[in-house]
Amino acid sequence: MPKQQAPGTAPPAAHRALRERAQKILDILEEMYRDARCSLHFADPFQLLVAAILSAQCTDKRVNEITPTLFSHYPTAEALAEAPLRNIEVIIRPTGLYRNKAMSLQGAARRIQEAFQGEVPRTVDQLLTLPGVGRKTAAVVLSNAFGIPAFPVDTHVNRVVNRLGLVHSKDPVKIEKALTELFPEERWGRLSHQFIQHGRTLCLARNPRCPECRLRPLCAYGRSSTAPKPPS
């Protein structure tokens, strides 16, 4: 009697094909975006944590314009924990949602002081105990501040990997799990930046530039697009 396929799992041939396509995508992205890196400016893990919290519903460019002033006044978790909340709000106002973000920043700084001896923690579970920190922010800090393998999934990563057909979910947790199973862990952080850069330059939310994209032959969305293919 033939062996039954486990419910919800892809047939071995389909899984091998997906892995082979993922490797090709990995190689092309490396050629396209060799210099991809975190676009937030930071000098230490605490500064990156603050910048990542501020980046919610705000561009990295705007965050980078604000953080030098914020860090000149409050360079450490201890300083930010003791700062007047109103002062923080005034500085970060241009990032949007500034009242909630100010409370998150100060709450995170105080917890770092009280629970982690003034040091930004180095595990997902510990980072998630900080106000304003979700899985994406935790992954950003781990991969960029500490070099610990993690795969940040933002809106660009979500859009690009779904269009490529690497995953079929809009749930960031499910996307993270699928991508970490598909790609080698030493490439997780770098690949996240490459997906993000691709989403910002070619795989745009509106009017993606499919004819210019080298990934189009490997892309479920690009192959179905009615846009003309680039000349050979």
Task: Show binding-site residues for [4Fe-4S] cluster.
Answer: 203, 210, 213, 219
For the chain, the straight-line distance linking the first and the last C-alpha, in angstroms and rounded, comes to 50
Cα distances (Å, whole numbers) of residue 133 to 22, 65, 70, 212:
30, 21, 19, 36
d(C-alpha 142, C-alpha 145), whole Å: 6
- The answer to whether residue 44 is catalytic is no
Which one of the listed residues 35, 101, 136, 229 is annotated catalytic? 136
- The answer to whether residue 154 is catalytic is yes
| Residues 11-48: b if buried by 16+ CB within 10 A, e if exposed | eeeeeeebeebbeebbebbeebbeebebbbebeebbbb
How many C-beta neighbours within 10 Å does residue 87 have?
13
Which one of the listed residues 3, 24, 61, 154 is annotated catalytic? 154
Positive/negative CA dihedral, 209, 210, 214, 215: positive
Alpha helices in the chain (DSSP H): 12-32, 45-54, 60-73, 77-82, 85-92, 98-115, 124-127, 135-145, 155-164, 172-182, 188-201, 220-224
Give the catalytic positions in this structure. Answer: 136, 154
